Structure formats: C-alpha cells, structure tokens
Amino acid sequence: MPVQEFQLPLRDYDLGATLASGQAFRWRPAGGAWEGVVAGRWVRLVAESGFARAELAAPCDDVGWLTSYLQSEVDLDAVITSFPDDGPMRAAVAACRGLRLLRQEPWECLASFILSSTKQIVQIQQMVELLSARFGERVPVPAGHASAFAFPSAERLAVCGEAELRACKLGFRAPYLHETAAMVARGEVNLARIATLDCEAARAELLRLPGVGRKIADCVLLFAYGFQAAFPVDVWVAKALQQLYFPRRKVNPKRLLKFTATHFGPCAGYAQQYLFHYMRLQAGRVSRELKRSKPGVHGSTTSASAAAATS
C-alpha cells in the first residue's frame, strides 16, 4: 500500500522525548523515525526542522486527529511561564524543553494504565502489543511492513475469557482489565461523558472501575482528557517530590497531594510530566555513571525509567 505524507508544524516540540516519556505505549523508534498506531491508523513520524513528516498507510484527507493527539498547537511558552519559579522546575525545563503532553483516546489510555501496575515501560508495551495483535483489528501498513493492529475495543475485551487475557502476559491485571472492559461495554461508566465533568467528578467516575486507583485515574485524566489539575503520584514521583522539595523532612502522602494541588499552578499536570521525565533522565545518567565506574557489575536498576510505569 502506498504511503501518504503530510507535514505537521511542530514548534518547540521534542518529538522523541514526548513519545518515549511513559505517556503512551504504542510508539517504537525505527531508523530515525517513530512508528505507532493512533486512532486505528499506522503512523510513522519523522522530526524535521520546525515540523514533523507524518507518513500514513491508509487514505486520509485530514490529519486533525493526529494534530489533536500530538497537541502541537499548545502554546508551550505559556505553559512553562505558569510553572512555579523554583530550582527543581527550572532544572526540569532546562533538561526537557520541548516535552509535550499527548491527548490519547480514553479507552486505550485507561486500559494501558490498568496494565501498568508494577510493570516497566517495556513490559507494558509488550502487553499492549500482544492484546492488539490477538484481539485488535488489523490496520493498513506500507507494502512489506510487519503487520500492525489497533488496540482492541472494550466490547471485544469484555467477551474474552480471563485465560485468554492472561496469555497476553497480563498476570493479576487480567481480571481488572476484563471487568473494566465489561463495565465500559455495558455503559456503566461512560468514558465520553467523563470529558464533560469537572476534575473531581471525573476522577470519582474512574475510581469506580476495577484496578483503578488514584494514580491510574490521574494518568487517564491527564493523558486522555487533558485535566491539568490531575497530578499522578506513584511511589517514584512521591520519592522525587520528597527529594526535590522536602529534602530535610519526611512528608506523608496526604501532605504531598496537598502540595501538588497548590504549588504547581494552572498547568500542574504539565509540571508533573516535566519533573517526572527530568528525574528519569537524572537517574539514567547516574545509572550510566555507575556502570562505567563498576564494569562487570549488573545489579538491579533503581532508575526512574524502571519505575516510570509503576502505579
């Protein structure tokens, strides 16, 4: 199938950092480009100066859906200006300038983060790919390219057996995903309606779902619905906040949540992603330095890239 190309303006946009920052799990680096499946379409993105070249394998007259997904029209200067003027945020912006938030399809985002519990990013990617290959619909790809699949709908996963889901390496997450899919398929939780609610009401609706706690709910609120009041805090983020903002005293989880709700301003969710990715970069740098200083030692990694996907 011939490839159709579009140019998408991308100003002040770090495409690689954004697609690899633990928000979404369908993207893979491929020869200087990024390949993934968005809205049931195979997409290849190549970053150029001031824009991205988007290659699609299915006929398309309008790429508004992809622009919306990438959130490329967001004024990043305005976002960054809203951040608190403190040392950690200045360091995070300096290290991660161009990092963006994506706007994902709610069901895929919700299901993916249910799978994220206690897993590393590469493991979440593997589960998502297995689910898509076994239960998703095949999507058009360029001639000679490996097959690609859309993420399966809630209706499709609701009729799967738990054993089928466990065969996709879901482990204890299988019943949570199955029960959540069934509730969504039956309309007990309306994912489209959540977009019309305020943040607290939207969070409460998501928390009704099996396997969804505060952190997973906030990930979905931020990455699928764009609620900037959502500030996902997992074990790693809590540790990072403690280290960056309260280095001399221990702060309990309730106090940390109150701090995130008041300190980071109207774009708190964006600030969280900058801090989160910054700490991943820092931990990765420390890990590399340790490996260089201790050749032949391969103990367990405590980097944020390993903790990034835990809930």
Residue 120 is predicted with a pLDDT of 87
Reported as a pLDDT band with limits 50, 70 and 90, residue 117 is confident
Task: For residue range 255-276, list pLDDT tens digits in order.
Answer: 999 999 999 999 999 999 999 8
Q: Is residue 70 part of a domain?
A: yes
Region 124-133: what's the mean pLDDT?
A: 97
2: pLDDT confidence band, cut at 50, 70 and 90? confident
List beta partners, residue 36.
43
**Which CATH number covers residue 24?**
3.30.310.40
Domain co-membership, 165 together with 73: no
User: Would residue 12 be called left, alpha or beta, if left means φ above 0 and alpha means ψ between -120 and 50 degrees?
Assistant: left
Please state, in angstroms and rounded to a whole number, the distance separating the CA atoms of residues 238 and 295.
Answer: 31
Kindly write down the DSSP assignment for every residue of 164-225, as one continuous string: HHHTTT-TTHHHHHHHHHHHHHTTSS-HHHHTTS-HHHHHHHHTTSTT--HHHHHHHHHHTT
Domain harbouring 169, CATH code: 1.10.340.30
Q: How many domains does the chain have?
A: 2
Whether the full predicted model's pTM is greater than 0.85, yes or no, is yes
Q: Would you say residue 258 lies in a domain?
A: no
Between 121 and 205, where is the model more confident?
205
Mark which of 77, 95, 129 sits at the end of a domain.
77
Phi then psi for residue 50, to 5 deg, are 85, 0
- Range(s) of the domain holding residue 164: 106-223
> Is the same domain home to 72 and 119?
no
Do 118 and 192 lie in one domain? The reply is yes
How many of the other CB atoms lie within 10 Å of CB of 188? 11
Is 173 among the domain residues? yes
**Of 203, 223, 243, which residue is a domain's last?**
223
Residues near 131 by beta carbon (within 8 Å), at least 6 away in sequence:
111, 151, 152, 157, 165, 168, 170
Q: Render pLDDT for 63-104 as a digit per residue (tens, 0 to 9).
A: 999 999 999 999 999 999 999 999 999 999 999 999 999 999
